[in-house]
Structure 1
Amino acid sequence: MAGKSTSSLPEVHRFITDHDADGKAVFNKSVPEEGQWQPISDAANFFLAYTTHGFPIALNPAEKAPDVTSYKNDLETVKSLTVDNGSVLRFVDFAPDTEPIMHRTTSLDYGVVLEGAVECHLDSGEVKTLQRGDVCVQRATNHAWKNISENGGWARMMFVLLPSEAPVVGGKTLGLDLGSHMPDTVEPK
């Protein structure tokens, strides 16, 4: 059930720019500005803020806004964490006091802490603490996020995910691994 986030953090609004018939910049009104959140588990809520397909990103014919049309379709159909040959902009609200879920996607991700404090756990046992404004460049590694915000508050991160090659280490390909605890709602198509 998509809707308002169950976190205590402020709502996220998405504003998409476009062009009018004269080529002037305007705001596209075909997608609601309010975030449509999807509860993934007791641990997190996702908001799929935008997606694209292909590089470079198709903006023409401008009158038809093909990227916006594609994103509107993805809001109904995308169930994977990444998009093949495209980009994903996602917000994630992490609940306090929940166990991190170890996972790996075949993508290069920029993860920026917007609110709270978050630990990035790697399967090697290494851990880094990220504070508001910090960024983690996650390069198709097995990782997990844990909210460690003070006073039991929610944490929010923004992620940009870009498809990547699967890393090959010691002759072994390290591909998608959603772990045994990742919910079915984010299984790849």
Structure 2
Amino acid sequence: MNSQQKTFRRIVTGHDKDGKAIIVSDAPPTISHLVGGPGGPTFFEVWHTLETPALIHPQPDENDEKSLVLSPPKNGTRIRVIDFPPESEEIRKLSGADASDKFKSMGQETASTAHEGAPHPLMHRTETLDYGIVLEGEITMILDRAETVIKAGDIVIQTGTNHAWSNRSGKNCRIAFILIDGQFTGDFYNH
């Protein structure tokens, strides 16, 4: 963990043998992944569910995924925190093939929508509904035909849109993402 990254706690509740609410664990997330090597974002995997409605057990199970998986499980959810360091020139110059490789390392090569003339080399799209809550710093959200700077306290609702994140601020940005498995309706344009 580099000096910019602050630890945060993941507190999981459950029930004791008498059915009373207890704290099952209170510690930093146990699984994190640095994507793309030094200078890349760090994904802290907090929790995921495998179905909807989510099954609630007296003693919740720990995450069982050891590798990074970009989207939530089918019919499930995922919460993660991502630390985005300032974007390097190296990221801005990625080729389409390099971008696909980055998404492949996240278990979802097909998410990459990089192409010549794209607004950012890490443009991607997933069949999910995502809530992004900026915890600290700021980052630029890039869409096909728009971009905006989002800052600490802002909340983004991503509705399966093609997008990329670009930290142009010079400081770390931390975002909590809640990802919900989704399905595109038949009225989407495939352009």
TM-score above 0.5, yes or no = yes
| Structure 1 counterpart of 2:19 | 23
Instruction: Work out which structure has the larger RCO, using CA pairs closer than 8 Å and 6 or more positions apart in sequence.
Output: 1
Amino acid at match of 2:17: A
**Structure 1 residues 78 and 92 mapped into 2: Cα distance closer, same or farther (>3 Å)?**
closer
So what's the TM-score if we normalise by structure 2? 0.74
| Structure 2 counterpart of 1:130 | 150
Work out which of the residue numbers 46, 51, 58 in structure 2 matches 1:49: 46
Aligned partner of residue 132 in structure 2, secondary structure: strand
* % same residue: 30
Work out which of the residue numbers 160, 170, 174 in structure 1 matches 2:178: 160
So what's the TM-score if we normalise by structure 1? 0.75
| Structure 2 counterpart of 1:79 | 69
Structure 1: distance between partners of 2:87 and 2:68: 28
- Per-residue deviation, residues 133-153 of structure 1 (Å, max 9, x unmatched): 00110000110111133xx21
Aligned-residue offset at 1:7 = 5.5
Structure 1: distance between partners of 2:164 and 2:74: 22
1:108 aligns with 2:129: yes
Structure 2: distance between partners of 1:19 and 1:170: 44
Work out which of the residue numbers 3, 23, 34 in structure 1 matches 2:28: 34
RMSD of equivalent CA atoms? 2.1
Q: Does the aligned pair in 1 maintain the 2:79–2:179 contact within 8 Å?
A: yes
Structure 1: distance between partners of 2:81 and 2:147: 22
| Structure 1 counterpart of 2:111 | none
**Structure 1 residues 7 and 85 mapped into 2: Cα distance closer, same or farther (>3 Å)?**
farther
Q: Does the aligned pair in 2 maintain the 1:121–1:145 contact within 8 Å?
A: yes
Instruction: Name segments (4+ residues, structure 1) moved above 4 Å.
Output: 167-171
For structure 1, the residue ranges without an aligned partner over 5 or more in a row are 175-189
Amino acid at match of 1:11: T
